[in-house]
Structure 1
Amino acid sequence: MSTARPSHHRAGSRDFRLLWGASAADGVGSQASGAVLPLLLLGLGHSAQAVGLVAGVSTAVGLLLGPLVAVPADRGARKRVMLASASVSALAMGCVALALATGRPPLGLILAALLVERLATACFEAAGRGTVALICPGPEQPRAIARLTAADQGALVVGPALGGLLYQAARALPFLADALSYVVSALCVRAMRADLGAPAPRERGEGLLREGAAGLRLVRSSPLLRLVLVWSATVNVVVVALYYGAVFTLQRAGHGGAVLGVVLAFSGAAGLAGALAAPRVAKRFGGSRVVTGVTWLLVPLAVALATVTGAWAYGLLFALVCLLMPLASVVLQARALQTTAPALQARTGAVLATAATGAAALAPVLAGALADRVSTAAPAAVCGAALAVLAVHTSRRPVRGALAAGAAG
């Protein structure tokens, strides 16, 4: 037994590195192509409404189908789903790159390719949510989630810059890079040695819709998972609304795109640092204190953002928001992972992701309406009020008890 444990640990570490590589490559490629997609569509002569339609439809596909496409992964086909999804996404983005390199593709072709890629990506993300629990021992899972979160934050910094540089060279290159990133992801998944199957036998008489709703039923019945859903959805709305608030505030103050780019790069680097520091902070102060404390600290930062117009002051405050947010987010994700059975990981994760992403999709509309009808300071002020309500909620004894029980579990 003494020789088997180090071997298993080494295998788990190797598989996690491969999972991290797949996630990082996917994130950088998706950010590179996504950042220039509006520029491409506008450059091809399509209207801003068409750009919004493409973005909205592709996002809606992932949101609506996420819990359903998670069913095959929870049935034990996790590795096959991830491999097939990455391959299909590579083919879809490769078709876009080829069409751009050879001519002027119609909007329908681009939309079709994006829908295929979005659905495949939803499958990949759903299958990947249960993988950490299968390849990492319980005590290592918070650190693993922190590293995956750091990869996402790093992609937010590197991806758009890479996409912009490639787009300047040739409009097809960002989409070719995205296709190649999916190839890297597929190769990483293929090289994983762990058995990624999960014990999720299909119940007789259960249809696809009922199986897909199993994650929703679990979230509704679990106080901890309800906290994760409420906290993630609220904070996602706040961060996206503050981002658009930064765009409106800096633009009306006369600052150009270069200043905004620096502000966003600085905030992305802060988010990366926060994700890497999260396990150590949680270990020192305890998960319940971190979640409650971070939520309260976000309140004055959001309120302060409503009072400043200078680029550097806004950038510093927004970076502090992005630094603090992952400290609590990693804790909550780890608790959710540790308290969810492997057979429900994909479907539960899809429900939580759908709620968070769907809420964030409403934030630009909210921020724009407030900025136009009230003032550019209004989005930050409303975000401060929402965070205050959330902070009060996280301070309630039943909520803190649910978080502590999740840690014990």
Structure 2
Amino acid sequence: MSTARPSHPRAEHRDFRLLWLANAADGVGSQASGTVLPLLLLGLGNSPQTVGLIAGVSTAVGLLLGPLVALPADRGARKPVMIGSAAVAALAIGCVALALATGRPPLGLILAAVLVERLATACFEAAARGTVALICPGPEQPRAIARLTAADQGALITGPMLGGVLYQAARALPFLTDALSYAVSALCVSAMRADLAAPATRQRGEGLLREAAAGLRLVRSSPLLRLVLAWGTVVNAVVVALYYGAVFTLRRDGHAGPVLGAVLAVSGAAGLAGALAAPRVARRYGPPRVVTGVTWLLVPLTAALATVTGAWAYGLLFSLVCLLMPLASVVLQARAIQVTAPALQARTGAVLATATTGAAALAPVLAGTLADRVSTAAPAVVCGLLLALLAVHSSRRPVRGLLVAEGVR
């Protein structure tokens, strides 16, 4: 695979540090404001149904438009897309912070700002997915992905706590912090020295929609990318379903919010540790063993979640799930980058993200339905069955062979 990279290793390391900082700042800011947004909307007198509608619409916007907005990035405008998207997101959330600081903002303003910010974030994320392949040499990509994943996990731990503290001080502060984090991301990307323009692959006479769907066609035609899609979709949905299963189970047993917060904090720290350890584990045991081994280990852990009753036992098992998942996820993401041409990175990444995010968005609904109509243990049982099917599939010889193939597109 041919990639456009800086000619000097120091430039590569500098550009990756800037990308990491942009990603970390964005993650912390988004978690800080996203955590308190429902509290703000409820505090302004809106119903839970309205809060859920805003969350659902904003998520749907990113899911539907993600593959389309990745097209300009793959055409060579990756850096301008990232800078412009971060700037637009900063402006949108900054308007919310300003409105909160000066009075009672109307619901329409908040809804418009959230939708604009979600669209801008989808643009930024789609373009950023192609950046790792352009600034990191092939052997360094698993480690780079692990560090970016660790930043995401760290944001899940620090962002909500920061948002809660700031919201107690002044309700505009979490949104101001988010706006500043987008500004930091834009400055970091603008300071990168690498040429982030991948070679164009547009064919004469190819329509806009067909060109935008190139990533989907690649995923459909690539056995490896189909494996990444299936694994990511199932496992991400399982983790979200288990999270809501934890909420239902702990509430059933009479545990208050602080206990749930502690369980989530420990599980987030476990996910951070798993992401950092992923490259070393993959080098020691090999990608096929890591992916199949992790998938099989998730099965009994998930099944056990259906039987435990104590809060700390549930927290321990859920933390082990969060520890193991990044070990395989980093391997699969690295292989996906290696088999995707630079000019298709953003569109292909958007397709994969749309599938996994969509499944994760549906998981709470399914978990709640199972908990209401069957039992609070039902989500874990169903998740265990899904993981068992995925483990059988990933253990097949042809599938394992995909993880060691050296040929790239």
Question: TM-score over 0.5 for the alignment?
Answer: yes
For 1:44, the equivalent position in structure 2 comes to 44
What residue in structure 2 maps to residue 61 of structure 1? 61
Partner of 1:194: 194
Equivalence for 1:294? 294
Report how far residue 208 of structure 1 moved.
Answer: 1.8
Q: Give the structure 2 partner of residue 340 of structure 1.
A: 340
Match of 1:27 in 2: 27
So what's the TM-score if we normalise by structure 2?
0.97
Segments of 4+ moved more than 3 angstroms: 406-409
8 Å CA contact 1:339–1:406 kept in 2: the answer is no
Partner SS for 2:404: helix
- Report matched runs for 1:161-172 at 5 Å: 161-172=161-172
Quote the Cα distance in structure 1 between the aligned partners of 2:177 and 2:83: 18
Q: Output one character per residue of 1:147-172: Cα deviation in whole Å (capped at 9) or x when no partner.
A: 00000000000000000000111111
Cα deviation code 1:44-83 (max 9, x no counterpart): 0000000010000000000000000000000010000000
Please report how far the alpha carbon of residue 408 of structure 1 lies from its aligned counterpart in structure 2 after TM superposition: 7.8
Deviation of 1:202 after TM superposition, in Å, equals 2.7
**Alpha-carbon displacement from aligned partner over 1:319-345 (angstroms, at most 9, x marks no partner):** 000000000000000000011000000
Q: Mapping of 1:281-360 within 5 angstroms?
A: 281-360=281-360
Distance 1:89 1:370, change over 3 A: same
Offset, 1:107: 1.2
- CA offsets 1:258-281 (integer angstroms, 9 cap, x no match): 010000000000000000000000
Equivalent position of 1:152 in the other structure: 152
Partners in 2 of 1:333 and 1:180 — Cα distance? 29
Encode CA deviations 1:79-135: one digit per residue, 9 max, x unaligned: 000000000000000000011111111111111001110011001001001111111
Contact 1:20 1:148 in 2 (8 A): yes
* Structure 2 residues without counterparts, runs of 5 or longer: none
Distance 1:6 1:182, change over 3 A: closer
8 Å Cα contact 1:224/1:406 also seen in 2 = no
Question: Aligned runs of 1:10-409 on 2, under 5 Å?
Answer: 10-405=10-405
Distance of 1:30 and 1:202 partners within structure 2? 34
Identity of aligned residues (%): 84
Distance (Å, rounded) in 2 between the aligned partners of 1:6 and 1:236: 34
Q: Distance in 1 between matches of 2:383 and 2:372?
A: 16
Query: Does structure 1 retain, via aligned residues, the 8 Å contact 2:6–2:193?
Result: no
> Comparing 200-209 with 159-168, which one deviates more in the overlay?
200-209
SS at match of 1:199: coil
**1 CA distance for matches of 2:222 and 2:274?**
27
Structure 1 contact 21–188 (Cα < 8 Å) conserved: yes
Deviation at residue 309 of structure 1 after TM alignment: 1.6
Q: Considering only aligned residues, what root-mean-square deviation do their CA atoms show, in Å?
A: 1.2
The whole-number CA distance in structure 2 between the counterparts of 1:7 and 1:121 is 30
8 Å contact from structure 2 (residues 6, 135) kept in 1: no
**Separation (CA, whole Å) in 2 of partners of 1:124 and 1:380:** 34
Instruction: Give the direction of change, closer, same or farther, for the CA distance of 1:263–1:406 in structure 2 (3 Å limit).
Output: farther
Structure 1: tracts of 5 or more residues without a match: none
Distance 2:116 2:208 in 1: 21
> How many pairs were matched up?
405
Q: Retained in 2: the 8 A contact 1:66–1:354?
A: yes
SS in 1 for 2:405: helix
Task: Give the AA of the match of 2:172.
Answer: A
TM-score (norm 1): 0.97
